[in-house]
Chains A and B, each alone.
Chain A
Amino acid sequence: MSQVTSEQYTISPYLIIFPLYVGMVGVGILTYQRRVMEHAGYNSWVSLIITGLSMHLLLWMLYKILSSIEDSRDIVAINHKLFGKWLGNLINLAIVLYFVLGAFVKFKVYVEMIQVWLFPSMNFLPVSIVILLIVYYAVSGGLRSVTGIAVWATMISCLSIVPQVSLTFPYLHPMNLLPLFNHSATDILLSSKDMGFEYLGFETLLFIYPFVKTPEKSQKWAHLIMILVTLLYLMILILAFMFFTEEQLLHTIWPTLNMIGIFEVPLLQRLEYMAVSLWFIKIIAGISIFIWAACRGMKLAFHFRPRISLIVFLAAITVSSYFIIDHRTVEWVSKMYANVGLYFIYAYIPFIFLCVMVRKRLASRATPANE
């Protein structure tokens, strides 16, 4: 399988930060505080830092995996090399489905958010179709157009979230963070695990990598965005901890939106509604990057035309989101996705990393012997 990606489809190394950002930060940033603090309470900002560090390790592994074997620079080819055609393709199919599931969760959670905050009694089928048509448009343009949307999404999100959240300053009670360490190490690690879910999405790199012009140079940018995402999560988490008391946060379903809503600006009385609407482009970008990865996987592994698999995936998402209507099922699906995702990044990636390293060691030992 030749891996040369022609110049006109590649993106510059620094552009990698945009698809990675929209992949990682989704609707989760509006609700994650409650999930993260379940075990470690108000000490869980420590857990967040631990998770952030582990993500850097995984990212480093990803780059090692993708750059170690000459001519196989995406996960499909690596799976073929390591496990053979059949088993390899089985794993590839699982990865593709995993990305489709990720796109579905992103989409459905956002739709739920609109239903709760903006239009409770709205018929969602036409809107889903409109949303997914935009996704179709973005993905059929290839990675470059997906990256283009991601740039806008990142800019909007940075321009809106940070100032909005800092409007809460007069209501902060720094005392809430004290005492600093009153939870056990186990609790803190359990919270770290829950936090891992919020980082899912950077593994799209497994498919993006060959599309980066001089991919080795993009590693520092990928680490940079990882640091920024960790800082963003950390800032919003600590602000929420100072804004809500522990018990109150457990009763709050959308902490970030409630924080935004405390401030009154002229003309716009309810800032949180604007935030929900601004989120739209972010979600489009997030879904696009996942769907793009899935289509790419289908093409590499099974030689499906991307246009066809794109239509199939989008139709599947529309239909299943039409039939799944209650919150409990959505919760269940996203829990499942979170669990699968955690195994994917914490078990599969290190495993592949080991395999690739062993293979490389064997190969380097074999070569001098041949000479």
Chain B
Amino acid sequence: MELRSRTLLIVALCMLLAACGDTNVVNSIKFVQTIGYDAAKNGVTSSAVIANYEEQGKLKLEFYVTESKSVYDTMPKLNMKLDFPIEYGQLRMALFGDSFARRGIATAIESLIRDPKISARAHIGVADRDALEMLNIAENKRDPYFLSDLLEQNMKFGNLPRMNLHSTFFNYYGSGRDFFLPHFTIERDEIKLDGLALFKGDKYKVKIGVTDSFLLKLLLEDSLNGSIMVPVAGGNQTRQEYFLMNSIKSKPTYKVIRAGYPASIAIHVNLKAQVKDVPQWIDLTSEDELALLEKSIEDYCVKEIQNLISLCKSNEVDPLGLGDLIRSRSKNWDSRQFDKHYKELTTTVVVKARIIRTGASG
């Protein structure tokens, strides 16, 4: 009797537990893992990549496209095409088509961040054509997370600065900051990262290449990785040659020289690098020639950073957050006032490079 009543109690309590949850069995829902948005004639075309876990270990990617008035009713519209309810808690990547991004993505990203189901670590990116076309290629990879893994990998080990939904929002709402997103293209039927798309407000303004994206990483964080080709000229060489520089660690420091207009900022970057692959005439064991390489890295970086900053200034975008820097040093800061004087802002850049590793020979 004792035992039976106790069992009954346990069963009753278990039922209480089971009654609480909204149960979601993995093969009776549709996981949207990647979604793409394109501008359509009057509204938006959304394309969703959904993995279908039919059997263990087997995976089929499904591809659904729907048109709607705005991004808000994408999910209900998609539901009309699906045999199981849609779930987007595992959404890792939202891709915007070129024309959509130029028209402004504020509504789309705001609806993403407002949803507690979507992680702030999700990625967003811009394609150089329609997102639909690019996702079609991604579909061949048989991996619903291909694009987001590609990004993650390149932020960790490559030239991309760290980005996700949270940091995009940080820059979007931050005064004196503009956000940037990874930019994809297609090369030989393969998806390829080819730099960053810089935004003004929520509109895609200008694209920068992979080298510039490394410089941005250098200027924003302690770039533990990333590599660029640096030109070197010297000795009796007539032709300019390149060597590969890997960043090991860097630290940028900003100093506001004058906060009033026209503002002036000094940027100092400390860079520790590894150089392994150099033209044959350079001897990596020689102190002088290492100094020559360091000098070429410094000169090249300074020149390219200045170019990047003037590119930003002429396009009126501020991915570095220079406006924010000025804001933090002035009592009354007005973003419009700053924008008006943004072109007159002067920057001095100093890069201190030190080669601390030269591969096997060093």
Give residues in A with beta carbon < 8 Å to B. Answer: 116-117, 119-122, 126-127, 130, 171, 173, 175-176, 178-179, 182, 244-248, 251, 254, 258, 261-262, 264, 269-270, 272
Contact = CB atoms under 8 A, between A and B. Distances in A.
Contacts of A245: 170, 173-175, 177
Nearest to A120: B22
B19 interface: yes
Contacts of A272: 116
Contacts of B22: 119-122
Contacts of A126: 16, 19-20
Interface of B: 16, 19-22, 89, 110, 113, 116, 119-121, 166-167, 169-170, 172-175, 177, 324-325, 327-332
Contacts of A261: 119-121
A244 B172 CA distance: 11
A126 B169 CA distance: 38
Nearest to B259: A179
B324 A175 contact: yes
Dominant SS at the B interface?
helix
A251 B119 CA distance: 16
Contacts, number: 65
Given A182-B331, A182-B332, A270-B119, A248 B170 contact: yes
Contacts of A270: 89, 119
Contacts of B177: 245
Given A116-B116, A127-B20, A176-B328, 6 more contacts: A126-B19, A179-B330, A245-B170, A248-B170, A251-B113, A270-B89
B119 A269 contact: yes
12 contacts: A126-B19, A178-B328, A179-B329, A179-B331, A245-B170, A246-B175, A247-B173, A248-B169, A248-B173, A264-B121, A269-B119, A272-B116
Nearest to A117: B116
Contacts of B329: 178-179
A119 B328 contact: no
B106 to A, nearest CB: 11
Q: 9 closest A-B pairs (Cβ-Cβ)?
A: A178-B328, A245-B174, A248-B173, A247-B173, A175-B328, A182-B331, A245-B173, A117-B116, A262-B120
A262 B167 CA distance: 10
Contacts of B172: 248
A248 B170 CA distance: 6
B78 to A, nearest CB: 18
Contacts of A121: 22
A127 B89 CA distance: 24
B167 A171 contact: yes
Contacts of B173: 244-248, 251
Contacts of B167: 171
A213 to B, nearest CB: 37
Contacts of A178: 328-329
B113, B116, B327, B329 — which one has the most chain A CB atoms within 10 A of its CB? B116
Contacts of B110: 251
